[in-house]
Amino acid sequence: MNIILLGAPGAGKGTHSEMLVRDFGLKHISTGDLLRAELKKASPVGLEAKSYMDKGSLVPDAVVMKLLVGAIAGIKHGNGFLLDGFPRNESQAGMLQEELASRNMNIDKVLYLNVSKDVVIKRLTGRRICKSCGAVYHVLNMPPEREGVCDKCGGDLYQRPDDTEETVLRRLEVYRKETEGLINYYKARKILAEVNADLSRDDTYGLILQKLGKK
């Protein structure tokens, strides 16, 4: 089962990726996570990506493709993989298609997490992440027991620099201009399944399982 999770920033792609990986043993490939890891290492790729990420713009396709191809090359045939945050435009979708075809692989399902703008702004500006273990909290909906401290490992919580309201609005605009067209792209290929992502995490996940024929 090879899946793409498509949706605006804050639709819950990361959260549902984690749940799908846990339940089906898929390999999780998040280009945002791969880029943030490069940034942390201060590698040339990370340094190139930083200015785009800080602004909420897309990192150039060539940079992202290099990371993606590396991740796909590391996949062992088995349970499948899940792409989170990739592709972000039609050119990336085309390159993905070619890369997979050359490895005799394909995408089985594109799950489109449909979320409204108000929900995204509330979710992202309140999101806090543990520096040590990556656990995700929300200042209102899922606060930690002690403010600023991770319940799971005691690590410090931080706000992603691109989760401020100004940058969230810019990311939404970039999504609308560059990524939204992929909904029709995959609809035309008859592999798109739409899910209401305004609901609670568990309700949305229930819908995802239905679309995957697992419920």
Binding site for ligand AMP (CB under 6 A): 9, 31-32, 35, 52-53, 56-59, 64, 85-86, 88, 92, 162, 171
Active-site residue identified among 36, 55, 122, 160? 160
Output 37 or 149, the one with its CB closest to ligand AMP: 37
Which strands, in side-by-side order, build the sheet including 192-196? Answer: 27-30, 81-84, 3-7, 109-114, 192-196
Catalytic status, residue 22: no
Q: How far is the CB of 32 from ligand AMP (least distance, A)?
A: 2
Q: Is 36 a catalytic residue?
A: no
Its sign, for the CA torsion 98, 100, 103, 109, is negative
CA–CA separation, 175 vs 3, rounded Å?
19
Nearer to ligand AMP, 57 or 79 (CB): 57
Q: How far is the CB of 60 from ligand AMP (least distance, A)?
A: 7
160 included as an active-site residue: yes
Q: Which is nearer to ligand AMP, 18 or 149 (CB)?
A: 18
Active-site entry in 22, 66, 76, 88: 88
Strands, E, within the chain: which ranges?
3-7, 27-30, 81-84, 109-114, 127-130, 136-138, 157-158, 192-196
Asked if 171 is an active-site residue, the reply is yes
Concerning whether 131 is annotated as a catalytic residue, the answer is no
Tokens 């804050």 — which residue? 10
Cα–Cα distance, 209 to 141 (Å, whole number): 23
The residues that are catalytic are 13, 88, 127, 160, 171
